[in-house]
């Protein structure tokens, strides 16, 4: 395991143990770790937790990973302006 991977796991552990609402502060303290590999690692840990029956922690990590991916520009943005409103002509 690389040192950076260990850092990701430590950060994930901090997120899982922190008080509700403290997540942004924890993430802001580690800007060098906020990248696509962290998102990937979070999803891997969430999958493992789900398989172990820890659904709440898995959902929490997936939520944080999704928000982080959006912040990093990795999450696809969908047009919600109504451009695709279902009015199709044949």
Reported as a pLDDT band with limits 50, 70 and 90, residue 89 is: very low
pLDDT tens track for 30-39: 999 999 999 9
- Label residue 2 by pLDDT band (50, 70, 90): confident
Q: 3-state class of 42 per DSSP?
A: helix
Rounded to whole angstroms, what are the CA distances from 48 to 10, 24, 59, 68, 72?
Answer: 16, 24, 12, 19, 24
Is the pTM above the cut of 0.85? no
Q: What is the pLDDT of residue 29?
A: 96
């Amino acid at each position: 395991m690389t040192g950076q991977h260990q850092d990701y796991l430590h950060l994930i552990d901090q997120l899982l143990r922190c008080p509700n609402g403290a997540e942004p502060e924890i993430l802001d303290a580690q800007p060098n770790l906020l990248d696509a590999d962290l998102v990937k690692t979070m999803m891997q840990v969430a999958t493992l937790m789900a398989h172990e029956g820890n659904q709440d922690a898995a959902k929490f990590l997936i939520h944080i990973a999704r928000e982080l991916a959006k912040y990093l520009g990795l999450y696809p943005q969908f047009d919600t302006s109504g451009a695709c409103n279902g009015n199709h002509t044949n």
